[in-house]
A = this chain, B = another copy of it.
Amino acid sequence: MAGQPGTRSGRRERLAQRAAKPKFNPCPPGQIGGAYKPLTEAEIQRIYGAALDLLERLGMGEVPERLHADLLAIGAKDDGFGRVLLSPALVEKAVDQAARTFVLHGRDESRSIEVGGNRVHFGTGGAAVQTLDLDSGHYRPSTLEDLHDFTRLQDVLTNVSWFTRCCVATDVPDRFDLDANTVYALLKNTTRPTATSFTLAEHLEPIVQMPDIAAGGPGEFAKRPFMKAHISPVVSPMRFGEDAVDVVYECIKHNIPISCITAAQAGATAPATLAGFLAQSLAETRASLVMVHAIQPGFPTVFSNWPLVSDLRTGAFSGGSGEAAVLNAASAQLSNWLGLPSGVACSMTDAKAIDAQHGMEKGITSLAAALAGGNLIYESSGMTASLLGVSFEAFVLDDEMHSHTYRALRGVEVNEETLGIDAIRDAVLGEGHFLGGRHTFAAMERDTSTRRLLIGTSRASGLNGARMTPGHGHVFGRGRFYAIITLPT
C-alpha cells in the first residue's frame, strides 16, 4: 500500500510532541489557597474574641524572668499570682506590627520563597526517631546518615519548598553534637531554604559559624539567613517554656527567622472540642507573637498554630483524621484572616506502612490545609507512623501528591481562550472530538499536571563549590561525626 507520508509524518510529530518532556511545570509550589473557608466570619469573630479574653483574663504562666521584664515594659500586667496578662490592645498592636510577609531564603537565591498572603508551600518538619529502611523494609532507629540521605533526596523533589530536618540522628547522643551535625547535614546537602531546631540557646553562637562559612564569612549569614528555627516557646495550656524562650532571644539576635510553634493536643493539653481548641491555641500562638514583639517588633515569624489531635479513646496521637484536616484548615484560615504568615501541620498519617491508609490520610489532610490557604504546610513529606517514622518511598509518593494538590489549588482559569467556544463549535460541527486539535495541545502544554512516578537521580548540592573559608570546622569537633564536616582547604 502506498503510504500517506504527509499524514504519517503529522502523526509521528504529534506522538513526539505528546511524549516530549513538558516545557514547564503547570502547577509549581506557591499556588494560591483560600477557596475553602471552614469557619464563617461570625465563627472567626467569636473564636478571636475568646482568645483575646483568655489572654486578658487568664494570661500566660511560668514566664521566664527576662521575658517577664520585656513583656511588662510593653504594657503587660503581672496578676500577682504568677501569671502575666496581655490586654487586647497589646495583642492587637503586636499583630499590627508583625511581619506580614517575608522571604525564606535558599542558599541558592533562586530557590527562595515568599511566605504570606494565601500562597501555599509544602515542606517538611518532624523529629522521627525511626527510619523505614530501604533495604530491609523494616523500621530501625534513624541515623545521621539517614538525615544526610533524606536531605539529598528532597533536594531533587519538585514540591518540597523548604527542608526542616525530618528525623533525629539517634546515633548522636550529645545534644550539641546533634544540633551541630543536623545543621551541617542541611548545609551540605541542599541549597533550598532550611530549618532546624536548637536544644539550648548556647548552641547557637558556635553553630551559627557554620552557615556563616557557607555564606562567605562571619556575619554574612545574618544578612540573608537561609535557615530558620523551629521553636515551641509555649507549653500548652497557657504557659511559657524557659529553654525555648531563650532560643527565641538567641535566634532574634542572630537574625534567624523563627516558626513559633504551638503544638497543643486536643483532649490532652487543650480542649477536645474543636472551637475551644482553636480559641486556646490561637491565644497561645498570639502570646508567642507578643513575645516576639516585646523583643523585636516585626521580626520574621511564622504564626504556627498547629492543631494536633489525640484519639480520646486510646490517648494516642492521631495525625491523619478528619478532625486533623478541619482543625488545621481552620487554623490556617484564622492566621490568614489575621494577615499573618500561617504555618500548620498536615499530610500526617497514623499508618506505619506505605499503604492505602497512608495515602488517604495524607491526601485529605493536606488538601484541606492547602485549600484553606496554609502558607507553610509542615510535616508534609515523608513522615509516617504518627510522626514517629520517616520513609524514603513516602518522600517520593508525597511529592507526587503535592503536585495533584497544587493542580487542584490552581483552579479553573476562566477567559476567552480557556472557555474555547470556537474550539467547541469546530469539534461539534467537525470531527466530533477534540483529540489532536490546536486547543487541546495548547492546554496540554500549558495546564496539565504530569505524572512523575519515577524520581530523578539524587544529586549533590552541598557545600562543594560554595564560597567557604577553610579552617572554621574545628568548633564542631566534639563528637564522632566531626569528620563529616572536614572542610576543603
A residues with a Cβ closer than 8 A to B are: 18-19, 27, 35-39, 42-43, 46-47, 50, 53-54, 58, 61, 237-239, 267-276, 278-280, 311-315, 320-323, 325-327, 329-330, 354-364, 366-368, 371, 394, 397, 400-401, 403-408, 410-415, 417-421, 423-425, 427-429, 432-435, 439-440, 443-444, 447-451
Contact = CB atoms under 8 A, between A and B. Distances in A.
- Main secondary structure on chain A at its contact with chain B? helix
A368 B239 CA distance: 38
Given A46-B414, A408-B322, A272 B358 contact: no
Given A360-B362, A360-B401, A433-B269, A424 B326 contact: no
B421 A53 contact: yes
A323 B403 CA distance: 11
A480 B18 CA distance: 48
Contacts of A451: 311
Contact of A268 (B269, B327, B415, B435): B435
Most buried by B among A323, A357, A403, A433: A323
Contact of A361 (B267, B270, B326, B363): B363
B363 A359 contact: yes
Given A61-B428, A362-B363, 6 more contacts: A46-B414, A268-B433, A271-B424, A276-B424, A359-B360, A359-B361
Contacts of A357: 359, 397, 400
Contacts of A429: 58
18 contacts: A37-B37, A53-B421, A58-B425, A274-B413, A276-B420, A276-B424, A276-B439, A312-B444, A320-B404, A322-B403, A326-B412, A356-B359, A358-B359, A359-B359, A360-B363, A363-B363, A364-B401, A364-B405
B440 A274 contact: no
Q: How many copies make up the complex?
A: 2
A1 to B, nearest CB: 25
B43 A412 contact: yes
Contacts of A58: 424-425, 428-429
Given A359-B359, A401-B364, A450-B313, A421 B50 contact: yes
Contacts of A424: 54, 58, 237-238, 270-271, 276, 279-280
Task: Pick the 10 closest A-B CB pairs, nearest first.
Answer: A363-B363, A322-B407, A359-B359, A359-B360, A276-B420, A272-B443, A322-B404, A356-B359, A36-B36, A275-B418
A419 B276 contact: yes
A425 B238 CA distance: 10
Contact of A276 (B360, B367, B423): B423
B434 A268 contact: yes
Nearest to A54: B424
A274 B412 contact: yes
A364 B413 CA distance: 20
A241 to B, nearest CB: 13
Contacts of A414: 39, 42-43, 46-47, 275
A46 B420 CA distance: 12
Contacts of A237: 424, 427-428, 432-434
Nearest to A397: B356
Most buried by B among A267, A355, A415, A427: A267
Nearest to A393: B356
A29 to B, nearest CB: 13
A188 to B, nearest CB: 30
Contacts of A411: 38-39, 326, 330
Contacts of A267: 434-435, 440, 443-444
Nearest to A367: B364
A162 to B, nearest CB: 22
Contacts of A313: 18-19, 444, 448, 450
Contacts of A415: 275
